[in-house]
Amino acid sequence: MSVIRHVEGVCSAGFRGSRGACPSRVSSCSGRTGAEHQERFIPLPHEHVVEKNVPDAFINTGLERWLHARGIRHVVIAGVSTNNSVEAAARTAGNLGFSTVVVANACFTLDKADFGGTLRSAEDVHLMALANLHGEYADVRSTDDVLAVNPAATATSPAQARPQTAARPAVQAS
């Protein structure tokens, strides 16, 4: 089984989001202070790391080609934020013909004002993003549902794959 457990935001010098900053927030832009992986999430040597500079993991990353070259037609998506990177990647994966699952309780988002200025709770934003995806671009499932279908996935979980005390160097994007 091939595993991509890391998709990292990379801020390119020429890219500016709507607020003039990295669209992935400074905390997730590789190579910047505060963007280091927590020890338990440092990629293992056999894990493929996808570097992206827009919310969608498929845009200009080679991810689609990497998956096709390995005969992978099923993808499972989890991460931050549900209504941005997760939704963008899931829409593209579905449009490209991948069988796509979004793991609802392995994603989260933040409070956000709607277009009319009304503040929506993170839970409302999260649930609406999942509703946008479910049945059209992806199947939305729980972690328990995904693991029940693929019990081998539990053997490659970060907690089982690496000792909690292992010292590892930080991964930096080029």
Each residue's pLDDT tens digit, 15-73: 434 333 444 333 344 555 555 677 887 888 888 888 888 999 999 999 999 999 999 99
The answer for residues whose C-beta is within 8 angstroms of residue 133's C-beta and 6 or more apart is 87, 90, 91, 94, 102, 140
Homologous superfamily of domain range 6-161:
Isochorismatase-like (3.40.50.850)
Q: Where are the domains of the chain?
A: 6-161
Task: Kindly list the strands in the beta sheet with 99-108, ordered across the sheet, starting from the edge strand earlier in the chain.
Answer: 74-80, 99-108, 139-141
d(CA 10, CA 158): 23
Using a cut of 0.75, tell me whether the model's pTM lies above it: no
Q: How far is C-alpha 24 from the chain's CA centre?
A: 11
